[in-house]
Amino acid sequence: MSNVTKRGAGVSFIAISAFFISSKYISAAIYGSNQVSWNIELFSGLLGIVGDTLTHLSILAFVIGVAYIIWGEYEEWHFRKGKSTE
């Protein structure tokens, strides 16, 4: 797997993370769309109904994405360091 591919995979995982976290809030808003009035307590309750699964998946995808980016950057640095000593 090349460094560019690792970086692309990392960015993709971070985009998936953003999708998961936004899906949580959009789901809560859709779930409470029939409410006449809104306040912070109501929305917090709706977020509780949606659950923490999307938050956990978002954190996991974000960590994997950052790890892939760091891995790609490390290999690029290691390759350049080895090439400059030759």
Its domain, for residue 46, covers: 3-84
The CA–CA distances, whole Å, from 46 to 7, 21, 49 equal 36, 14, 5
Number of domains forming the structure of the chain: 1
The answer to whether 14 and 37 are in contact (CB under 8 A) is no
Residues of the chain with pLDDT under 50: none
pTM for the model stands at 0.84
